[in-house]
């Protein structure tokens, strides 16, 4: 079978998340790295819900470098939880929030919106009208001057209201940018989802509106939390169990991408959300899984964070290409080779793929060079591979083209590294560990340093793409 260059190029898109649960093709691309990542991270998250606390709300945190494969693993978690009977709401918070300026109220409303949409899509489940939440949103909408509020109906966005003898009502909702919506009393969740979506979209696009909205929501945070719990989550859990579901799980992805920029009073945003407001983030009455910025593990407030969430974050480390002593990790290399070759030959068995290496690379050593220089960072490996295909303008990829791409990436990365950081990088390379000060946090956040784990130990090492830089070898 001839290798389809265009399909292979598309399969190596570094921005693509594998939807293993509902894509047969993505299932073929998926490689399980658990054997070299120090433990069954996703299985632990799953078991904490399904075995240890199926009927009680839980809140768990997952962290790791951006691009290490968290989204793919969380989607696998979603599939496994659904398989045993849970209703799972998964969403990427970056679609709803401005990641450079996030407050806890924004996250709570995003969750309320996504849960409302998901429950509303279930034909057999209807919830009572969430009046308290609607009134809070109506006030926010009125404040932003976006939607005209009907005082008689007290429902977000209702215009002309007509009631029937049975006590039902219907209305037309004028929503800028959408037009007229027709709603009934049974459509309360739809109005909640639409209203939150319009409000947050406006706020996301305008710093001034964000500040205006924050001023309204912040003193009402506990009321919002109580309304979401009592009017949405608790009734939803009850109804789901009546329909033979085991419970409700909300997975909030991409919160690890929240910027570290300080709030107006100087507190870094990451610490503010996950430390100062951690109790409110975990206060929702359902199972929760949040992704968390990796740099918080090295913060002086990490102990307080654990107290707030009452759990230690699960870490998804890099795939090791070398052990701590510098010797090659043969199993990590084997799995990374398979990850690359599976994108080219998804229908082949593993041994068959190895016989096809020279259809993708000029020699097997070029594939090994790609795997080693990636440092086991899945997305960066795919990015190097994808760009090498373009550099070569076809296949097989030559060592020369790969080295040209590596050099370009290295030159870009070293522009951001100052003298003090080179000193820290040499210390990491020598001692295989980092400390908790700000300099090391910067190295972690900038992906100049990677974390690795086995079942026996953990260690850090520099991003291999920097190892040949002359500044590092001074």
Please tell me the predicted confidence (pLDDT) of residue 160: 37
Cα Rg for the chain, rounded, in angstroms?
25
Q: Would strands 179-184 and 169-175 be described as parallel, antiparallel, or unpaired?
A: antiparallel
| Cα–Cα distance for residue pair 254/121, rounded to 1 Å | 24
Helix runs in 314-418, H state only: 330-344, 350-354, 357-360, 364-374, 378-392, 399-414
Res 1: pLDDT = 65
Burial group, residue 68, by CB count within 10 angstroms (0-12, 13-18, 19+): buried
- Residue 14, classed as helix, strand or coil, is coil
Compute the distance between CA of residue 170 and CA of residue 31 in angstroms, rounded to an integer.
51
Query: What pLDDT was estimated at residue 437?
Result: 67
Q: Which ranges of the chain have pLDDT less than 70?
A: 1, 146-187, 436-437
Per-residue model confidence (pLDDT) at position 178: 34
pLDDT of residue 232: 97
Q: How many residues does the chain have?
A: 474
Quote the tokens at residue 412: 């870009």
pLDDT tens digits along 387-397: 999 999 999 99
pLDDT of residue 177: 37
User: Which residue from 169, 224, 215 is spatially nearest to 196, judged by alpha carbons?
Assistant: 224
d(CA 21, CA 27) in angstroms, rounded, equals 8
Q: What is the pTM of this model?
A: 0.89
> Which of 42, 54, 60 has its CA nearest to residue 316?
42
The two tokens of residue 11 are 């399969």
Those residues with Cβ within 8 angstroms of residue 460's Cβ, 6 or more apart along the chain or in another chain? 428, 432, 433, 434, 449, 450, 451, 452
Tokens (6 digits) for 241: 């169990």
Pairing of strands 449-453, 458-462: antiparallel
């Amino acid at each position: 079978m001839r290798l389809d260059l265009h399909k292979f190029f598309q399969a190596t898109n570094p921005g693509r998340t594998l939807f293993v649960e509902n894509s047969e093709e993505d299932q073929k691309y998926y490689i399980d790295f658990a054997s070299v990542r120090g433990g069954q991270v996703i299985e632990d998250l799953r078991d904490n819900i399904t075995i240890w606390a199926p009927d009680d709300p839980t809140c768990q945190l997952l962290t790791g470098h951006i691009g290490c494969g968290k989204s793919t693993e969380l989607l696998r978690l979603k599939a496994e939880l659904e398989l045993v009977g849970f209703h799972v709401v998964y969403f990427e918070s970056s679609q709803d929030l401005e990641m450079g300026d996030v407050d806890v109220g924004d996250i709570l409303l995003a969750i309320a919106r996504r849960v409302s949409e998901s429950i509303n899509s279930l034909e057999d489940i209807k919830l009572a009208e969430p009046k308290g939440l609607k009134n809070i949103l109506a006030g926010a909408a009125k404040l932003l001057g976006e939607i005209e509020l009907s005082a008689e109906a007290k429902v977000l966005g209702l215009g002309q209201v007509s009631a029937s003898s049975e006590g039902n009502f219907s209305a037309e909702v004028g929503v800028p940018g959408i037009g007229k919506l027709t709603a009934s009393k049974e459509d309360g969740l739809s109005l909640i989802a639409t209203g939150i979506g319009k409000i947050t979209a406006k706020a996301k696009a305008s710093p001034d509106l964000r500040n205006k909205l924050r001023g309204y929501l912040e003193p009402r945070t506990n009321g919002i939390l109580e309304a979401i719990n009592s009017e949405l989550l608790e009734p939803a859990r009850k109804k789901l169990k009546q329909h033979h579901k085991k419970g409700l799980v909300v997975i909030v992805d991409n919160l690890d991408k929240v910027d570290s920029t300080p709030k107006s009073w100087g507190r870094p945003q990451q610490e503010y959300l996950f430390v100062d407001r951690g109790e409110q983030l975990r206060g929702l009455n359902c199972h929760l899984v949040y992704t968390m910025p990796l740099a918080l593990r090295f913060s002086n407030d990490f102990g307080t964070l654990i107290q707030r969430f009452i759990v230690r974050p699960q870490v998804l480390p890099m795939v090791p290409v070398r052990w701590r002593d510098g010797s090659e990790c043969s199993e990590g290399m084997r799995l990374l080779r398979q990850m690359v070759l599976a994108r080219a030959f998804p229908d082949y068995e593993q041994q068959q793929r190895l016989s096809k290496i020279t259809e993708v690379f000029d020699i097997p050593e070029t594939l090994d060079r790609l795997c080693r220089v990636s440092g086991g960072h899945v997305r960066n490996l795919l990015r190097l591979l994808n760009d090498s295909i373009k550099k070569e303008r076809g296949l097989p990829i030559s060592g020369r083209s790969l080295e040209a791409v590596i050099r370009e990436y290295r030159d870009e990365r070293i522009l951001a590294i100052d003298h003090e950081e080179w000193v820290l990088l040499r210390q990491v390379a020598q001692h295989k560990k980092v400390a908790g000060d700000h300099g090391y946090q910067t190295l972690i956040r900038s992906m100049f340093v990677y974390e690795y784990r086995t079942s026996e130990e953990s260690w850090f090492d520099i991003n291999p793409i920097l190892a040949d830089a002359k500044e590092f070898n001074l």
